[in-house]
Structure 1
Amino acid sequence: MGKIFTSRSVLFGFLLVAFIIVFEIILARLHLPAWPAFMVMIFFFVVHEDLRQTPHILIGGLTGIVCVVLIEDFMHLLGPSVGMEAAKLAFIGLFVYAIVLLKDALPYVFNSYAFMFFLVSALAARQPDPAPYVWMGVELVVGAIFIAGIEGINRIVTAVLGGQGAALSTCHRR
């Protein structure tokens, strides 16, 4: 069993927490929701900071939020003839089926990130004054900044520590 705390994890963690606090303050001052960007951050860590997954996360996330807007139109269109609940379930079914069928053809758009962002956005849409277009902007812009920030933190840690803690933890690098 290796060391619990490495110099790399201590420094990375400190810088990451500082980064998160700064962006929490900035987003709060701008009256912007932080959750879309933090979902991007979480998913980026889930894929072990694999930059090749960035478009899957950002575009898939955007797709999920867009679907929260589309489901309303779909329900208003189909709801009068089949009922609102049936229209909602039909949209969800079509969306999930599209993910299954198109995940290999359009992996940036139809993926698990799209479904998770759809789910969380649908829950957020139940709150007073939902703002899905704002969520889209935060997800894309601040989410991309978060990914770049994590990469920057990794570079800073590597520059500061050099060879120390050279065995990069899988939760920080792939």
Structure 2
Amino acid sequence: MVEQRFIRESRTFKASHVLPPDTNNHNTLFGGKLMAHIDDVAALAAMKHARGPVVTASTDSVDFLQPIKVDYEVSLEAFVTWTHNTSMEVFVKIVAEELNTGTRAVCATSFLTFVAIGPNGRPTNVPKVVPETNEELFLHQSAAERAEARQQRRIRSKQLADLLGTRRPWEPID
């Protein structure tokens, strides 16, 4: 029997108050700070699904849609949308709320890939994921296309790494 889990079982939430030290000269949240929040909440969702340790394999996309300002609440919701043998695609939705008015907006979305790690330190199989809601079905049905794009991007990244090599600019060319 193939083990499976519902998407809802991996749903994870995180909220944070955006304070001045978290922001740039435009008084908006640093992109890198948001990316740290995204990786954190996505890893938790992946661990809930795998029921064990995971590593980030890739941040497939982070689309910044609207700025997140000082004194806003930034809320992140993450869940596993698709699984392969040892990997999981995790979707993160980022909503900002202006606390004085209650106005809310989706400010960013992100897809990440995690790999489950077994006791031997090697990748281990994960349960299949079962979508239920329209949102989950939409993300699940479009996941194979995103997985193919990830695979192609990974091939190109390896080619680029080979081309660039590890030589420092000041070292002589062999």
TM-score, with structure 2 as normaliser: 0.26
Higher RCO (CA-CA < 8 Å; seq separation 6+): 1
Structure showing the higher helix proportion among its residues? 1
More strand by share: 2
